[in-house]
């Protein structure tokens, strides 16, 4: 997922300077600002009103003030002041989703909104994608109140926009003060100009104060959360699915008595005719676990025309938006870059038609755009994964899991169509994760023109060895080598006519798009959304539009048009029947997954190794069970049968070896293991040094030529012990490799272990259910305890995935000072909630964060300190985090890593390693192996490496049973920024 460099880069871009007025700044305030501060303190119990715009009366007042023409000698000073205002003005960041929807889009929107606010910017969402931007707002801005602040936090609110002078007190709206920070930048500039005109002159100190008052970004801190409007009230309407219903149309059908979404609610809010909506921090709460896109998405033919883009540009300027994040596919991102490219000419046209003035033309002369890729097909080049693809794979695997049991019961064949017009990623990984018999993908069509015969021969060979079910997966864009489409119904007819199989067709369709996002589709969009805001704030007229992606498990930004062009090149290569070229555009993981599938599904004997090179490979599980162990074992067994080797299963770890609980595994025996959780071989924490002599004798007795050890920290320790005792026990002179598998992800040097993704998804499922209970109670905090040993990986990444507000890990521990700050945060946060509309909040605690401050103690402290504001409960997830069915990511990752392990063992192993042979001097000796043949396979970025035990040991804290350099450690800060803790603590 994301190693240290990614997190460091992301977190350095995450925070900004506090924008509230500090005590040191008060002395430098102008008289007007001091008066504002004093009046704000006097009115701290008055509910403030934040608006998306400003009342027409106030704007008229500002416009009627004649700004004097400054003498020529002051032109340079005026120009400098204008430049300062333009460069230091508060940024407006908008986000839209366009094209098809995908799970994880809401997480991306949430991340962009919250990170924008955390960076001192105003945040907007644009409903219905490009269509909404073209339409703009046809209704007047609807004000909505933010929650009343408590006296203890009211001093940190945004400065209220006071009357321009003592004689213009009528400019307040309904006797309520309007927050200056809620105004679009263009309105801020107008009011600054009007204020300057009334005062005629402005001193140097007043200019400095003006600069301080206008929000601007600085990535060295976090903006106070209490300095920004928490809610404009539109988040609930969006989450409830309020749309564009027609009240008049309802009345025409006699339904006028119904209260529909577009009718104004009790606070005067409505989404009718509103497509550009300002949102606050709380308007996106609860969005992490929602599928699809709550802000809507649509195809927009009008945006393809210049006239439509002209309207879109005008609407952006109306709201002072010059930073735009677009989440969509290649078409949406191409349109975004086209808008940016045309921006100067669009500005000229708007100026010529007097829709904007010269100052607006100068202020918004540059449009910053960044792209986030939302596509379930995972069809964008220059990124390893797109938002929504992992969840779509989850939906496919869940469906096939259900179908497979029916297929086996009735001995049927199922042909299943999945999405993927130009990319076979979903079909390929589903085939690996489900143990399918045959797949059709556009990048790699069947090798012969007679693919029908090839498929039938393979399925018939599977049936001959006793397999009761047959699963064929077809990508919607599947082709044969002559570019003739391969359709599911035709495949079904072939299976019925040639093999006589009872065959059914299932088209999964849009079920693949839906459902709650999986853990990775919450974490990845969050990290990418944070990086997107940073890219927007750093953009200059000279920098290209960027696409935020992930490569080598690091968040990256690449030129958007370059990524789109390479994506389109894949389709062109397929159309030109250059399938080898099409495959080169796919990453190494895609190619290795295809190889893993071909090996695991084949019973062909033409790839077997010569008899004199065939091996006996031992397979053993050590440590606690983890999702993916069985899938890795299945791939290893299938590789052995494909190459003519003998897979030797050692049951119940090294204790089983001592008991001679060992047997060979057949091809069919492991057929369904890919979907099974736990450990089919059995596992425990016993290390080989419990009886090294008898373990060595067991190796010799069962003639093991190589050893695959699957497990967590104990498995690593086992290989280390065996390697260190090679000189004493010649039986250990065989190549051996450790495949990391543990939910704790505490094995050093590797970014991921098998089972960690399954565990994260189990954590997300449990916390989603717990949050429902907490939110129903409105004011309840749940302290959720996770497993993980001395590693805080599960707690940290889980907190980011479920939106927890606090997280405790063994690496950082818990102190009394920390608890005091956390209690203060929770108290402040609940005091800022609107009455009756508090939300349930989660605190994630790793089980070994502290021996003193246990989960029970923390819960009691929070409950006691919460008093009238909030209650507290606890939940311990325990061994439920080992998960049931392994996640698709753990299954496919297991297949890839296991394949590489077996290739390593085959390369270094020598048959009959346990028997003696005659050396050069005629003396019976044992073969010896170098330290490079006792290794651990590790995921480092997108690369797979083999690390020797000596190298791994250098990066290991043996006492704490974890690595010394944990790449994910800084995610804790990001999780707490997204949860609001950093923003309120900085207040």
Residue 524 has pLDDT above 60, yes or no: yes
pLDDT at 773: 87
* pLDDT one-digit tens code per residue, 536-571: 998 888 888 999 999 877 888 999 989 988 888 998
Helix (H) or strand (E) holding 875: strand 871-876
pLDDT at 554: 83
393 closest CA partner among 941, 886, 801: 886
pLDDT at 146: 39
Cβ-contact 804, 971 below 8 angstroms: no
Asked whether residue 368 falls in the same domain as residue 419, the answer is no
Give the CATH number of the domain where residue 616 resides: 3.40.50.450
Is residue 901 included in any domain, yes or no?
Answer: no
Cβ-contact 65, 197 below 8 angstroms: yes
CA–chain centroid gap for 614, Å, is 44
Work out the average pLDDT over 93-101.
91
pTM for the predicted model, two decimal places: 0.84
Q: Using the 3D structure, point to which of 754, 773, 788 is the last residue of a domain.
A: 754
Confidence of residue 787 (pLDDT cuts 50, 70, 90): very high
Helix (H) or strand (E) holding 554: strand 554-559
Highest mean pLDDT among 27-41, 54-68, 119-133, 215-229: 119-133
Per annotation, catalytic residue among 13, 322, 337, 377: 377
Q: Count other C-beta atoms under 10 Å from residue 307's C-beta.
A: 10
Residue 181 has pLDDT above 90, yes or no: no
Q: How confident is the prediction for the chain on average, in pLDDT?
A: 81
Confidence of residue 239 (pLDDT cuts 50, 70, 90): confident
Cβ-contact 100, 293 below 8 angstroms: no
Least confident of 2-11, 100-109, 341-350: 2-11
Q: What residues have CB less than 8 Å from 24, skipping those under 6 apart?
A: none
Q: Using the 3D structure, point to which of 512, 542, 566 is the last residue of a domain.
A: 512
Asked whether residue 765 falls in the same domain as residue 869, the answer is yes
376 closest CA partner among 393, 388, 391: 388
pLDDT at 455: 95
On whether 876 is known to bind a ligand per the annotation, the reply is no
pLDDT at 88: 53
Is residue 67 included in any domain, yes or no?
Answer: no
567 to 332, 575, 743: CA distances (angstroms)? 13, 13, 35
Look up residue 82 and give its two tokens: 């204008």
On whether 331 is known to bind a ligand per the annotation, the reply is yes
* pLDDT one-digit tens code per residue, 152-180: 333 333 322 222 333 333 333 333 344 44
Asked whether residue 112 falls in the same domain as residue 228, the answer is yes
Asked whether residue 487 falls in the same domain as residue 408, the answer is yes
Q: Is 2 helix (H, G, I), strand (E, B) or coil?
A: coil
* pLDDT one-digit tens code per residue, 267-306: 666 788 889 999 999 999 999 999 999 998 888 888 989 9
Confidence of residue 909 (pLDDT cuts 50, 70, 90): very high
Is residue 161 included in any domain, yes or no?
Answer: no
728 closest CA partner among 698, 703, 704, 692: 692
166 closest CA partner among 54, 26, 32, 29: 32
Is residue 80 included in any domain, yes or no?
Answer: no
Q: Is 406 helix (H, G, I), strand (E, B) or coil?
A: helix
In terms of pLDDT, which residue wins out, 287 or 836? Answer: 287
Asked whether residue 612 falls in the same domain as residue 546, the answer is no
On whether 780 is known to bind a ligand per the annotation, the reply is yes
On whether 504 is known to bind a ligand per the annotation, the reply is yes
pLDDT at 841: 93
pLDDT at 220: 53
On whether 476 is known to bind a ligand per the annotation, the reply is yes
On whether 511 is known to bind a ligand per the annotation, the reply is yes
Is residue 869 included in any domain, yes or no?
Answer: yes
Asked whether residue 720 falls in the same domain as residue 774, the answer is no
pLDDT at 601: 92
pLDDT at 254: 53
Q: Using the 3D structure, point to which of 715, 739, 754 is the last residue of a domain.
A: 754
Q: Count other C-beta atoms under 10 Å from residue 320's C-beta.
A: 23
Work out the average pLDDT over 879-900.
94
Residue 376 has pLDDT above 80, yes or no: yes
- What is the distance between the alpha carbons of residues 693 and 863, in angstroms, rounded to a whole number? 56
Look up residue 864 and give its two tokens: 């006691």
Residue recorded with tokens 């792209």: 371
Task: Catalogue the E-assigned strands of 202-343.
Answer: 276-279, 323-328
Cβ-contact 823, 861 below 8 angstroms: yes
> For this structure, is 660 an active site residue?
no
Residues of the chain above pLDDT 90, percent? 57
Residue 62 has pLDDT above 50, yes or no: no
Least confident of 280-289, 531-540, 834-843: 834-843
Asked whether residue 235 falls in the same domain as residue 355, the answer is yes
Asked whether residue 712 falls in the same domain as residue 629, the answer is yes
Report the domain count for the chain: 4
Residue recorded with tokens 């004689």: 167
Work out the average pLDDT over 413-430.
94
- What is the distance between the alpha carbons of residues 682 and 621, in angstroms, rounded to a whole number? 7
Cβ-contact 735, 905 below 8 angstroms: yes
Work out the average pLDDT over 507-535.
93
Work out the average pLDDT over 776-794.
92
Q: What residues have CB less than 8 Å from 201, skipping those under 6 apart?
A: none
Asked whether residue 349 falls in the same domain as residue 300, the answer is yes
pLDDT at 89: 67
Is residue 15 included in any domain, yes or no?
Answer: no
418 closest CA partner among 446, 469, 376, 384: 376
For strands 646-650 and 662-664, give the pairing: antiparallel
682 closest CA partner among 651, 645, 723, 728: 651
Is residue 333 included in any domain, yes or no?
Answer: yes
Residue 45 has pLDDT above 60, yes or no: no
* pLDDT one-digit tens code per residue, 444-469: 999 889 999 999 999 999 999 999 99
Give the CATH number of the domain where residue 428 resides: 3.40.50.460
Asked whether residue 645 falls in the same domain as residue 623, the answer is yes
Asked whether residue 283 falls in the same domain as residue 379, the answer is yes
Instruction: Give the domain extent around 433.
Output: 389-512
Q: Exposed/middle/buried for 778, CB within 10 Å: 0-12, 13-18, 19+?
A: middle
On whether 406 is known to bind a ligand per the annotation, the reply is no
Residue recorded with tokens 């994506």: 567
On whether 743 is known to bind a ligand per the annotation, the reply is yes
Look up residue 965 and give its two tokens: 């350099």
Confidence of residue 584 (pLDDT cuts 50, 70, 90): confident
Residues of the chain above pLDDT 70, percent? 78
Q: Is 580 helix (H, G, I), strand (E, B) or coil?
A: helix
pLDDT at 144: 38
Confidence of residue 967 (pLDDT cuts 50, 70, 90): confident
Confidence of residue 949 (pLDDT cuts 50, 70, 90): very high
* pLDDT one-digit tens code per residue, 603-650: 876 678 888 899 999 999 999 999 999 999 999 999 999 999 999 999
- What is the distance between the alpha carbons of residues 384 and 592, in angstroms, rounded to a whole number? 14
Confidence of residue 694 (pLDDT cuts 50, 70, 90): very high
Q: What residues have CB less than 8 Å from 145, skipping those under 6 apart?
A: 47, 48, 49, 50, 233, 267
On whether 470 is known to bind a ligand per the annotation, the reply is no
On whether 332 is known to bind a ligand per the annotation, the reply is yes
Is residue 168 included in any domain, yes or no?
Answer: no
CA–chain centroid gap for 265, Å, is 34
Look up residue 850 and give its two tokens: 């502290």
Asked whether residue 643 falls in the same domain as residue 769, the answer is no
Work out the average pLDDT over 232-254.
65
Work out the average pLDDT over 662-669.
96
pLDDT at 922: 47
């Amino acid at each position: 997922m994301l190693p240290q460099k990614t997190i460091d880069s992301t977190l350095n871009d995450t925070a900004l300077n506090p924008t509230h007025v500090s005590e040191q700044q008060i002395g430098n305030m102008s008289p007007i600002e001091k008066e504002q501060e004093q009046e704000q303190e006097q009115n701290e119990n008055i509910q403030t009103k934040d608006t998306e715009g400003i009342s027409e009366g106030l704007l008229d007042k500002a416009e009627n003030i004649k700004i004097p023409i400054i003498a020529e000698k002051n032109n340079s000073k005026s120009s400098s002041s204008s430049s300062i205002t333009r460069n230091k003005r508060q940024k407006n960041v908008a986000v839209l989703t366009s094209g098809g929807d995908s799970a994880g889009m809401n997480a991306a929107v949430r991340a962009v909104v919250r990170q924008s606010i955390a960076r001192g910017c105003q945040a907007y969402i644009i409903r219905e994608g490009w269509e909404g931007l073209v339409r703009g707002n046809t209704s007047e801005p609807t004000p909505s109140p933010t929650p009343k602040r408590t006296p203890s936090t009211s001093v940190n609110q945004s400065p209220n926009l006071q009357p321009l002078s003592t004689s213009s007190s009528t400019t307040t709206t309904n006797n309520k003060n309007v927050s200056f920070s809620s105004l679009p930048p263009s309105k801020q500039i107008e009011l600054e100009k009007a204020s300057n005109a009334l005062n005629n002159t402005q001193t140097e100190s007043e200019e400095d104060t003006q600069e301080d008052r206008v929000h601007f970004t600085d990535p060295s801190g976090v903006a106070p959360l209490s300095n920004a409007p928490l809610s404009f009230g539109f988040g609930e309407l969006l989450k409830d699915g309020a749309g564009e219903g027609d009240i008049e149309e309802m009345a025409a059908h006699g339904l006028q008595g119904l209260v529909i979404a577009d009718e104004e609610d009790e606070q005067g809010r409505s989404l009718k005719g509103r497509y550009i909506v300002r949102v606050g921090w709380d308007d996106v709460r609860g969005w992490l676990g929602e599928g699809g896109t709550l802000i809507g998405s649509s195809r927009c033919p009008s945006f393809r025309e210049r006239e439509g883009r002209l309207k879109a540009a005008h609407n952006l300027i109306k709201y002072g938006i010059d930073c735009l994040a677009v989440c969509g596919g290649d078409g949406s991102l191409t349109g975004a870059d086209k808008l940016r490219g045309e921006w100067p000419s669009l500005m000229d046209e708007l100026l010529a038609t007097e829709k904007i003035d010269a100052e607006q033309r100068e202020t918004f002369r540059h449009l910053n755009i960044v792209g986030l890729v939302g596509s379930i097909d995972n069809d964008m080049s220059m990124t390893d994964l797109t938002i929504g693809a992992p969840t779509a794979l989850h939906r496919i695997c869940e469906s096939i899991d259900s179908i497979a049991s029916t297929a086996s019961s009735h001995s049927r064949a199922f042909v299943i169509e999945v999405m993927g017009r130009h990319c076979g990623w979903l079909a390929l990984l589903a085939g690996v994760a489900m143990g399918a018999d045959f797949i059709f993908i556009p990048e790699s069509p069947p090798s012969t023109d007679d693919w029908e015969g090839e498929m039938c021969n393979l399925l018939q060979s599977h049936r001959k060895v006793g397999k009761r079910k047959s699963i064929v997966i077809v990508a919607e864009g599947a082709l044969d080598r002559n570019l003739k489409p391969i359709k599911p119904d035709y495949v079904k007819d072939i299976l019925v006519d040639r093999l006589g199989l009872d065959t059914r067709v299932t088209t999964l369709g849009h079920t693949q798009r839906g459902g709650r996002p999986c853990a990775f589709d919450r974490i990845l969009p969050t990290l990418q959304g944070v990086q997107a805001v940073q890219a927007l704030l750093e953009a200059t007229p000279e920098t290209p539009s960027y696409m935020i992606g992930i490569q080598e498990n690091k968040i990256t930004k690449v030129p958007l048009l370059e990524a789109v062009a390479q994506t389109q090149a894949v389709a062109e290569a397929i159309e030109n029947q250059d399938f080898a070229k099409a495959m080169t555009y796919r990453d190494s993981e895609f190619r290795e997954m295809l190889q893993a599938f071909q090996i695991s599904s084949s019973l062909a004997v033409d790839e077997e190794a010569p008899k004199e090179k065939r091996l006996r490979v031992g397979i053993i599980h050590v440590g606690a069970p983890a999702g993916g162990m069985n899938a890795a074992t299945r791939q290893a067994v299938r590789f052995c049968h494909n190459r003519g080797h003998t897979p030797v299963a050692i049951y119940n770890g090294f204790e089983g070896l001592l008991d001679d609980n060992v047997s060979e595994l057949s091809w069919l025996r492991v057929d369904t293991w890919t979907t099974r959780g736990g450990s089919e071989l059995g596992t425990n924490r016993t290390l080989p040094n419990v009886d090294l002599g008898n373990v060595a004798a067991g190796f010799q007795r069962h003639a093991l030529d190589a050893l695959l050890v699957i497990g967590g920290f104990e498995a690593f320790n086992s290989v280390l012990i065996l390697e260190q005792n090679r000189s004493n026990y010649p039986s250990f002179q065989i190549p051996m490799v450790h495949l990391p598998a543990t939910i704790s992800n505490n094995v050093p040097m590797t970014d991921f272990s098998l089972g960690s993704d399954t565990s994260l998804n189990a954590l997300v499922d449990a916390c989603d259910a717990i949050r429902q209970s907490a939110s129903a109670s409105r004011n309840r905090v749940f302290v959720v305890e996770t497993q993980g040993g001395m590693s805080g990986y599960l707690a940290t990444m889980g907190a980011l995935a479920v939106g927890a507000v606090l997280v405790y890990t063994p690496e950082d521990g818990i102190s009394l000072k920390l608890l005091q700050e956390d209690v203060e945060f929770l108290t402040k946060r609940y005091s800022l909630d609107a009455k009756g509309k508090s939300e349930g909040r989660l605190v994630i605690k790793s089980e070994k964060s502290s021996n003193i401050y246990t989960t029970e103690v923390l819960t009691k402290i929070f409950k006691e300190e919460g008093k009238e504001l909030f209650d507290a409960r606890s939940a311990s997830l325990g061994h439920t985090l080992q998960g049931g069915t392994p996640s698709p990511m753990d299954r496919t990752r297991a297949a890839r890593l296991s394949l590489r392990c077996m290739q390593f063992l085959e390369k270094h192993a020598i048959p009959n390693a346990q028997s003696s042979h005659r050396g050069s001097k005629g003396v019976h000796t044992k073969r010896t192996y170098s330290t490079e043949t006792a290794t651990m396979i590790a995921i480092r970025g997108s690369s797979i490496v083999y690390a020797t035990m000596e190298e791994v040991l250098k990066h290991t804290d043996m006492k704490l049973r974890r690595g010394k350099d944990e790449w994910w450690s800084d995610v804790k800060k990001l999780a707490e920024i997204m949860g609001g803790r950093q923003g309120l603590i900085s207040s």
